[in-house]
Amino acid sequence: MNFAADIEGVFSKAEIESFLKDEQQFYIKYAEENWLDRYFKIKAMSQKTQVPSITSVISDTPGGSNPNNSKTEQFALKSIQAREWLDTIFDAMESLAPAEQKLIELKYMKKRNDGSRYSDEVIYPQLFIGKTRYYELKKEALEMLGRKLYGLFSERGCS
């Protein structure tokens, strides 16, 4: 307890709130920019079934440092990596509350017929909550998702 009292003497309440707000913004931005904004592109990559042109190349020289010189292998690996990426984000979403999961799905993982995302004004009535609670929930959900995803990759050393 002495440590907490010492810290309270070093930082003002406003400074502590500022640090926490900055941290929250970091995780929200991380979730949106590194994961949710890339969702549709990665999902499309994971679903591609066409095979690239297959061309055999015979050479006396090694193909360099890349052991996967085959276009077919590279294509298959990208598809597998995309599926693993999707599994990671879905696993992280399972740690969210059901209302937070639904909000993330509606806002970031579904598109309208014209290809754009649904607006907040369309989503919060579907969740049966008011506008103020919607924005609070959205912030909480994005922060928790960002923390979970960032934690997964910082533990592995892959961030």
Q: Residue 27: which residues within 8 A CB-CB, separation 6 or more?
A: 142, 143, 144, 145, 146, 147, 150
* Predicted pLDDT at 61: 52
Would the pLDDT of 67 be above 80?
no
3-state SS, residue 96? coil
> Of the given ranges (17-31, 62-76, 119-133), which has the lowest mean pLDDT?
62-76
Distance CA 15, CA 21 (A): 10
More confident residue, 59 or 13: 13
**What's the pLDDT band for 58 if we cut at 50, 70, 90?**
low
3-state SS, residue 40? helix
pLDDT above 90 as % of the chain: 54
More confident residue, 55 or 15: 15
**What's the pLDDT band for 49 if we cut at 50, 70, 90?**
low
- Distance, C-alpha 90 to centroid of its chain: 9
Q: What average pLDDT does this structure show over 114-123?
A: 93
Would the pLDDT of 159 be above 50?
no
